[in-house]
Amino acid sequence: MAETPDLSHVEWRKSSKSGGNGQCTEVAFLGDKVAVRDSKDRSGPILVFTADEWRAFIGGAKLGEFDLL
C-alpha cells in the first residue's frame, strides 16, 4: 500500500467556476501527486492520485467521457 502524503500544509483550491455554494471538490498539488477532497466534508476522506492518473482524468473530462447525457 502506498504511503499517505502529509497533507497538513497543502494549499487546497477550488475551481474559479465554483458557484460558492459549498458543494465542490477541492484539489491540492503535491509534487508528483494530486489530492482531492469534498469541500462540504473537509475532515472526510481524501483521494490521492498520481500525476499521470490526474492527467488521464482531466483529459477524459475535457473529451466528455464522463458526460451523463
pTM of the predicted model as reported, rounded to 2 decimal places? 0.78
Which CA distances in Å does 63 have to 27, 35, 59, 66, 69? 20, 22, 6, 8, 13
Is residue 2 predicted with pLDDT exceeding 70? no
For 44-52, what is the mean pLDDT?
92
Instruction: Say which residue, 21 or 43, is predicted with more confidence.
Output: 43
Tens digit of pLDDT for each residue in 7-40? 888 999 987 777 666 678 899 998 899 999 988 8
pLDDT at residue 22, as a whole number = 65
Tens digit of pLDDT for each residue in 21-30? 667 889 999 8
